[in-house]
Structure 1
């Protein structure tokens, strides 16, 4: 059976939404691109009509351009290799797929098979979050990764020495993928949970909380993060633009979280706050 590749050019704010929608249509592999993502489905399951119906629901909110092509099954690995290039972050972290060779010069080596989940490190927000993680002491710390996607940030926390890691996602297929990637990197002990902020209510405090989601969810859920953050603990956020930073800072200040620093890449931001 051959595959159908649908490559969508879409605003990053809607990429997660469309990924979930296409997942419902039977697409079972997604790869981030510079301006959107590519989605894959077996040819006998593909429906052009169903794809257009999904995209039409969002026509009033976002402009989506897409292309469709058939890929022979024997070229499947070539497609993954073409779309998912290994990369280095912060001159220390290698992020690669399982079919890439392990680099000798990497201090930290993370293997990610993304399937339907975002978080390969190629998106600016993931890169920025990892760069911020490298600046924080994770050794023997309790870490929470909200909106964990592939689980890459939770795995990074393990690489940096975290003793206990909880990861949370709202989609069951993403939870499954995060668990698979955690096991692939020898971190099966990561507690990957299905749900949202409600899953961390009455949790023991965390030393570091990571949340790479989007502005609106962050603004809504920051009180929940604050409630389970250790005194002097770190909150690392991303998924928003430079113009949104003042709003995030204001919300943090209202909650008693002190702004520490932020990084910017292509107008995306990752900011660090600390419990006072």
Structure 2
């Protein structure tokens, strides 16, 4: 598959984070944030339909130093492998590629095969969600990973004791990569990789739901996610900025959920909610 690159030249890390959140609502599949630039990758065939809206979005944020370029056909696996470094989460979780050394004893690790699917763990939201997944109490529960990407969170949940996780994503590449990663981690019998949106699992009930997507999709799916939870079920959300916490919490409360905890990292936020939960807490990372 050939990709187009949107290169945005900015040293403003806050603006870069905001643009990642905004652009994630379009068919961009991955992002690379560097000190002086942000590069967003989109399948070349998907660009023309959304380019006018993306251009208007960038103008609105004053991101005028930018360009679209067509990526050369390349071995994405080799490029990914060359640039991928293991991700350490709070000294207790490690996300690595197969060519990296095994993790130290006592560290929960997730192996990610080189593909273009989003969710390698490098982004602050994935780190936040990984920490929540390890802490929220998934052992023995059946879960849903909505917008699963590479399947990092679904695999981690199983390694934290979850009985079974349905991993759902609308992207065919992500669905295949999640399936491969589950096999590479030895949990293929406990992670089902499914192609589709939340409607793909309509009628199923879960003890926990993980969703690291973007604000608008989370808000739109909130009633369905709440409905999918059993009484006392847990919902962990991320993919939005700290400034959007009141909006997301408000929509969750409208859906009958209770706010238990907020975590913040590098301007991004993650929430833990429950059906019949307890009073909220705040942790600054």
- For normalisation by structure 2, the TM-score amounts to 0.78
Distance 1:89 1:197 in 2: 28
Distance 2:148 2:86 in 1: 20
Note the alpha carbon deviations across 1:17-67, whole angstroms, 9 max, x for none: 3535xxxxxxxxx674456457599xxxxx9xx898678432112347369
**Cα distance change, pair 40–56 in 1 and its aligned pair in 2 (3 A):** closer
Distance 1:109 1:149 in 2: 17
Distance 1:226 1:76 in 2: 37
Note the alpha carbon deviations across 1:151-201, whole angstroms, 9 max, x for none: 100011111011111011011121111111111111212111111121121
Listed as ranges, the gaps of 5+ residues in structure 1 are: 21-29, 42-46
Corresponding position of 2:282: none
| Residue 255 of structure 1 pairs with residue 264 of structure 2 | no
Corresponding position of 2:28: 19
For residue 83 of structure 1, report the CA deviation from its aligned partner.
Answer: 2.3
Distance 1:145 1:223 in 2: 16
**Cα distance change, pair 73–230 in 1 and its aligned pair in 2 (3 A):** closer
**Cα distance change, pair 201–4 in 1 and its aligned pair in 2 (3 A):** closer
Corresponding position of 1:161: 161
Corresponding position of 1:196: 197
Contact 1:114 1:150 in 2 (8 A): no
**Cα distance change, pair 70–52 in 1 and its aligned pair in 2 (3 A):** closer
Distance 2:74 2:173 in 1: 23
Distance 1:199 1:60 in 2: 33
Corresponding position of 2:102: 102
**Cα distance change, pair 7–184 in 1 and its aligned pair in 2 (3 A):** farther
Distance 2:112 2:90 in 1: 17
Describe the SS at the equivalent of 1:235: strand
Distance 1:223 1:75 in 2: 37
Q: Which moved more, 1:113-122 or 1:147-156?
A: 113-122
| Residue 206 of structure 1 pairs with residue 202 of structure 2 | no
**Cα distance change, pair 65–18 in 1 and its aligned pair in 2 (3 A):** farther
Corresponding position of 2:55: 59
Corresponding position of 1:127: 127
**What's the C-alpha RMSD, in Å, of the aligned pairs?**
3.1
Distance 1:75 1:256 in 2: 43
Contact 1:4 1:40 in 2 (8 A): yes
**Cα distance change, pair 211–242 in 1 and its aligned pair in 2 (3 A):** same
Contact 1:257 1:275 in 2 (8 A): yes
Distance 2:271 2:200 in 1: 24
Note the alpha carbon deviations across 1:228-269, whole angstroms, 9 max, x for none: 101111100001111111111111112221100111111110
- For normalisation by structure 1, the TM-score amounts to 0.81
Q: Which moved more, 1:52-61 or 1:210-219?
A: 52-61
